[in-house]
Chain A
Amino acid sequence: MDPECSQLLPALCAVLADPRQPVADDTCLEKLLDWFKTITEAGSSLQLLQENPCLVELLCHVLKPQGLSARVLSFSLRLAGVFAAQESCFQYLQQAELLPGLFGEAGPLGQAAWSAPTVRSGWIQGLRSLAQHPSALPFLADCGTLDTIFSLQGDSSLFVASAAGQLLVHILGLSLQGPAEGPPSPQACDWPVCAQKIVGHIEGSLRSMATPQVTQALNVLTTTFGHCHGPWMQVLWERLSPLVACLLQEDPLPAAHSLVDLLLSVARSPVLSSSDCGLWETLAQTLRRLSPAQAGPLALGILKLQDCPQALRAQAFGVLLQPLACVLTAADQAPGPPGLPEGTTGDSVTVDTLLSSKSACAGLLCQTLAHLELLQPLPQRPSPWPQAPLLGAAVTILRFCNGSAAPASDVGGRLCAILAGCVRVQRAALDFLGALAQETGPQELVTQVSAVLLEYLRSPDSSPTVLKKAFQATLRWLLSSPRAPGCCDLDPDTQLFLRELLPVLRKRLCSPCWEVRDSGLEFLTQVTRHWGGQAGFRHALLASEVPELAEQLLRDPESYVRASAVTAVGQLSSQGLHATAASPEQLGGQKESLLAELLHVLSTDSEGFPRRAAMQVFTEWLRDRHADVAEDTERFVARVLQAASRDLDWEVRAQGLELALVFLAQTLGQPSARCPYAVAAPQATPPGPLAQALRALSRVRLFEFAFRALFDCDRPVAQKSCDLLLFLRAQATPSGGLQEAEGSPDVPEAVLAVLRSLDLEGLRGALAESSDHVEKSPQSLLQDMLATVGVRGENQADCY
């Protein structure tokens, strides 16, 4: 601790210990604790306490009844824990009888303050910190501490209850890892006292069959098996697994969710999974025992395991597919849905769940679809993967949801009624359908996929969030569609789909919902980026009115849409697909108009998003040497920089520097490796002589822009400008280029002189620090806390 802080500390401790002086800010105590943690991690806590006796005095105040406010009390308990984490300091505090006082019956535990959750939480966190060394174990075992922790597992505060569970896991781990010599004994009586007590408590809880207790016990075990991998884990499981198996006999099953977590945690634990047949049997049994909604997460967990018996995997996959099998059966189709693994026919329990209520049906289907979506890309997913029936199921669900299915069965009819218009299921099914685009399916099904996607995109009933998902799924299917053999163009089916899709897109770009227009534009940008070079796509797009509409949306009332329109139009233009590029007679004049239009956006739009998008398009254009830009690059850069320099949004100014850097690189040649902004400028134009290059920079007023930006009050802008100027100076000075430059009469010598005179390195160093002037030093924290005493109440905690 530095001397300034040491000086301030006694006064602060005195303030904290004085209940009449309320503590400043909620966050101050947290930050103070953070600071003590860093100090104790770096050095001796004992020394810290000896050098700063005020800290021990503060801790002593906890022992006085009614001594401290709940917040300071909680803080002190946590602080004591932080100090006692080091064994020497733990002994010191033990000898001073402080620890039993703080954490035992004599402390807050027995006081009125205990009713405040923050005090209970501080008590647990203090113990959690100090339980770092074996000598802490007798302390924990002796004073009835464990019993208190057990009871806190059922605390009214979620935070306290959860922390109590975590603490038990930690203590159990600490006590069992200690005396690890030779294999652990299966006899509990040979275990350390703490472990005995904790395991005894867990056993008691499991036997109680009461859901809250069982849940607590299972959660502790789940975390234990997740975090600890010692040889004694096997012993522990052998001892507890019969009790866990007993739970499966109960009806109703207590704490099913926690049970699933525990079994998966055990199955993932490297110590156990390899050989234990009992575990696989328990998993299989649990799968059978759970309700369809509960079994889903377990099935997914099993399928994600690296090695587990094939039979169990098959069973799990069957469980996961159940709801979809029900859907397929309900939709009609003959005796059983084709292609699903054998035995996967919708069972009656699943059907009942689906038909029981709208929320149960939607819940189960959404969960199933999400699980399968997660499983789909994994290498350990079941093989063969039933792509075709899954596609069929996704399409059927979507049809049920939009009422276009004609179910033959009674169940189908009821499902239709339940799912009609269910946005949640629609979204989940569209996500899943999109994920299935990773691989194709039978042509007939792919056609159905296209059809259902078009239905959704067309339907006036589709909500904006559903439409967004429909666009995303469509994009994934489009991009995965096969190319026609022998040429790089699109296959006829895709071509056909596209011809139907574009009018729908056109309609959606006119939607009254900004979300829909925006999603449509995002889709257009993506598709163009991937397919801009394909003749079939180009032809279809230019024949539609989509490019014109995209340009009209540059004047949309919603700024997000304008920004997306700028990006889309920029992308179209880069690919030569801009609306008016098709009419050759007006080529020159019209092209100019898009540039002018985007410049107009940049200089007049009242909101930042479109202006930022315009800057990004311009930078791309310059980088790619877009035809309009190449016509008169200097004029282009000059106009853009002029507009950007006046901008109120600092991101636009920063983007302006990005563009300036691209121009610089193109004019001077590749930036050196030192430059943090490695710009991939094409090598096509060889860098001209330096003097000429500098004159060009001067003509576009790049120096003016950069120098102004160097003193910008927004740090990122200044920082970028500093980097740019450093790069420029490096280019101009060392290779003797400067002399050459000086030789020319019209070179901006003044600029170079300024460049040389500026301490750019120093400036860069200063700018590298945060531009936020929030003092993070501990000294500032202590000063602030002290200064606030007395003036509190004025500067109230408040909304921001």
Chain B
Amino acid sequence: MPEIRVTPLGAGQDVGRSCILVSIGGKNVMLDCGMHMGFNDDRRFPDFSYITRNGRLTDFLDCVIISHFHLDHCGALPYFSEMVGYDGPIYMTHPTQAICPILLEDYRKIAVDKKGEANFFTSQMIKDCMKKVVAVHLHQTVQGDYNMTPDRHLGAAWIDKCRPNLLITESTYATTIRDSKRCRERDFLKKVHETVERGGKVLIPVFALGRAQELCILLETFWERVNLKAPIYFSTGLTEKANHYYKLFITWTNQKIRKTFVQRNMFEFKHIKAFDRAFADNPGPMVVFATPGMLHAGQSLQIFRKWAGNEKNMVIMPGYCVQGTVGHKILSGQRKLEMEGRQVLEVKMQVEYMSFSAHADAKGIMQLVGQAEPESVLLVHGEAKKMEFLKQKIEQEFRVNCYMPANGETVTLPTSPSIPVGISLGLLKREMAQGLLPSAKKPRLLHGTLIMKDSSFQLVSSEQALKELGLAEHQLRFTCRVHLHDSRKEQETAARVYSHLKSVLKDHCVQHLPDGSVTVESILIQAAAHSEDPGTKVLLVSWTYQDEELGSYLTSLLKKGLPQAPS
């Protein structure tokens, strides 16, 4: 019995280092190849030895598919392809392909140059890895993290009722019904506004892509509406590049931005300016977006140290922070931080956590399952307890099996991929009339149109297909105008064209129809007067795509003009 086998190497009942092996139809596919930010040793990558023990990696694995550019979904990719030795194709969408190297490069720089780690992938390896990527047009959110509420910069996830055998979905917020997006945004703006009004400074540590852009758009619009004067700064670096890419991929982003983009480039802000480190000491209120997002290094940490002591100021953490980072510490309520050299930093500024992370909540996941109508559901990228809750909910509501394998556990699903197809007698007879009967040893190719009717498949001739489905046949015709210098009447011009073509095209059927038009096979030529120039006639040449070659030949022939007729 054919089956689908799914084994998570990462993201099975946990978050981070997403890596799911799927065996389907004799092919082995790896979904995602992510890293875990909480570790600095081997544990940061999925344990690929479970794949390499099956022989040569490239022979075993048919392809890698990356759902999106977050590091927990693609961070191990250069390691896997350039150091572990995978040499096969890697599929991802165009935006993911564009943004992936930026994030990987950033990750590499942090690991190698800042922490001095050896045995890590190099810039060249990232590039070589990206060269193995095949960019595809595919809705990017089928397995990756998704969000059912439209973001300001990205549209909401949508999936057709494709009734898959298995739907693999993330479940980070499996038990959460999140406040409406609007509520969260209002809350965010209120907090920023209040702080600025009382003369405080707001620090928003961000990672360069995604959320940063969204919050910028939000603040920019608000500043414009309320007419605020306090400066907003953006710590540069990665973000300008990110904006650059968002511009490139504007077609992927949501409708409203696309509309605005026509009038004004949303990412070229009026109120938001590049940050210089000297600005941090300026008096008065300001808002600063700075990297990195966990307050563990670089500019955001530098600014935090300067501002932490003042209770008028505020830091808003818009995302997850790993243990050990300053971000993690202040979010867990620690207010006395030991910095380098035993020096204690007292945090008096307000600390706020606002989740703007791009994950679907329980409602969103249920909605997606409802839309897709899968035969089974498999949960990944979430915590065991929450998954358990969601699993029960899905099983109750949709009466389908729901699985939540731990890392290393294999789920096996039987499938029945044999699909019976009926063949119309007419088609068979026609085929048989054309030659030898097919036999088991000598299969023959049969051309037809596959139609689905009353939930069964039928292979029929294309004419029958049109009839059964009640469709009209469309013809594709090319049309071209050729200008001729000829002051005679249209009919005479047509006659001249006819006799010229008749003499040139001896092998073709050239006809002069009673209405004055000339035909050569499917090609139709009509002569008309020029609206402004009586000395010129316009020849309308039109042909079907089947006669493309002849059509272009004729056009070029006519463009050369007609032979001088005896006057």
Contacts and interface: CB of A to CB of B under 8 A. Distances in A.
Q: Which of B7, B16, B26: most chain A CB closer than 10 A?
A: B16
B353 A157 contact: no
A367 B59 contact: yes
Interface in A555-599: 560
Contacts of B341: 766
Contact of B87 (A31, A427, A651, A654): A427
A515 B113 CA distance: 27
A774 B408 CA distance: 30
B237 A648 contact: yes
Given A716-B113, A799-B358, A800-B293, A158 B408 contact: yes
Interface stretch (B125-133, B445-453, B497-505): B125-133
A714 interface: yes
B207 interface: yes
- Chain A interface SS verdict (over half): helix
B7 A158 contact: yes
A160 B132 CA distance: 33
A367 B56 contact: yes
A257 interface: yes
A26 B323 CA distance: 10
Interface residues of A, number: 71
B322 interface: yes
Nearest to B240: A606
Contacts of A773: 295-297, 301, 325-326, 339-340
A50 B323 CA distance: 29
B359 A798 contact: yes
Given A27-B39, A784-B328, A156 B409 contact: yes
Contact of A26 (B14, B55, B244): B14
Contacts of A797: 14-16, 172, 320, 383
B127 A560 contact: yes
B173 interface: yes
Contacts of A774: 296, 322, 324-325
A772 B293 contact: no
A770 interface: yes
Nearest to B317: A795
A250 interface: no
Interface stretch (B254-262, B330-338, B418-426, B428-436): B330-338
Given A370-B56, A468-B131, A28 B323 contact: yes
B8 to A, nearest CB: 10
A796 B385 CA distance: 14
A257 B331 CA distance: 51
Interface string B392-410: 0000000000000011111
A795 B331 contact: yes
B331 A799 contact: no
Given A465-B132, A797-B16, A798-B357, A791 B332 contact: yes
A791 B330 CA distance: 11
B118 to A, nearest CB: 14
Contacts of B88: 424
Contacts of B130: 560
Interface in A26-69: 26-28, 30-31
A565 B194 CA distance: 51
Nearest to A463: B134
B37 A791 contact: no
Q: Which of A30, A159, A788, A796 counts the most chain B CB atoms within 10 A?
A: A796
B15 A27 contact: no
Contacts of A156: 409-410
A27 B36 contact: yes
B113 A776 contact: no
B27 to A, nearest CB: 9
Among B58, B59, B113, B324, the one with the most A-chain Cβ atoms within 10 Å of its Cβ is B324
Q: Which of B54, B319, B358 has the most CB of A within 10 A?
A: B319
Nearest to B128: A468
A117 B408 contact: yes
Q: Which of A27, A30, A465, A773 has the most CB of B within 10 A?
A: A773
A332 interface: no
Contacts of A22: 385
Interface in B81-118: 87-89, 101, 105, 109-110, 113-116
A508 interface: no
Interface in B6-28: 7, 14-16, 26
Contacts of A560: 101, 127, 130
Given A156-B410, A159-B407, A648-B237, A799 B113 contact: no
A739 interface: no
A606 B248 CA distance: 14
B386 to A, nearest CB: 10
B131 A794 contact: no
A236 interface: no
Contacts of A698: none
Nearest to A654: B113
A799 B407 CA distance: 18
A116 interface: yes
A464 interface: yes
Contact of B207 (A28, A159, A648, A800): A800
Interface in A1-43: 22, 24-28, 30-31
**Which residue, of B241, B296, B383, B406, has the highest number of chain A Cβ atoms within 10 A?**
B406
Contacts of A28: 323
A770 B298 contact: no
B329 interface: yes
A701 B406 CA distance: 59
B408 A651 contact: no
A518 B127 CA distance: 10
Q: Among the interface residues A158, A257, A608, which one has the most CB atoms of the partner chain B within 10 A? A: A158
A157 B406 contact: yes
B530 interface: no
A363 B293 contact: no
B445 to A, nearest CB: 14
A800 B299 contact: no
Contacts of A781: 323-324
A704 interface: no
A799 B145 contact: yes
A241 interface: no
Given A713-B277, A773-B301, A775-B324, A117 B406 contact: yes
A721 to B, nearest CB: 14
B303 to A, nearest CB: 9
Contacts of B59: 363, 366-367
Contact of B237 (A118, A366, A649, A775): A649
A518 B333 CA distance: 50
A519 interface: yes
Nearest to B207: A800
B321 interface: yes
A481 interface: no
Given A30-B43, A560-B130, A784-B332, A118 B406 contact: yes
B131 A518 contact: yes
Contacts of A651: 109, 113
A771 interface: yes
A606 B328 CA distance: 33
Nearest to B133: A515
A787 interface: yes
30 contacts: A22-B385, A24-B323, A25-B322, A27-B36, A27-B39, A70-B384, A118-B406, A158-B50, A159-B47, A297-B55, A518-B127, A609-B123, A648-B236, A648-B240, A650-B109, A713-B298, A715-B114, A715-B297, A772-B114, A774-B324, A775-B324, A775-B338, A780-B329, A783-B334, A787-B333, A795-B331, A797-B14, A797-B172, A798-B172, A799-B358
Interface of A: 22, 24-28, 30-31, 70, 116-118, 156-160, 162, 257, 297, 359, 363, 366-367, 370, 424, 427, 464-465, 468, 515, 518-519, 560, 606-609, 648-651, 654, 713-716, 766, 769-776, 780-781, 783-785, 787-788, 791, 794-800
Closest 10 CB pairs of A and B: A27-B38, A798-B320, A159-B408, A787-B332, A797-B15, A774-B324, A157-B408, A158-B408, A117-B406, A799-B70
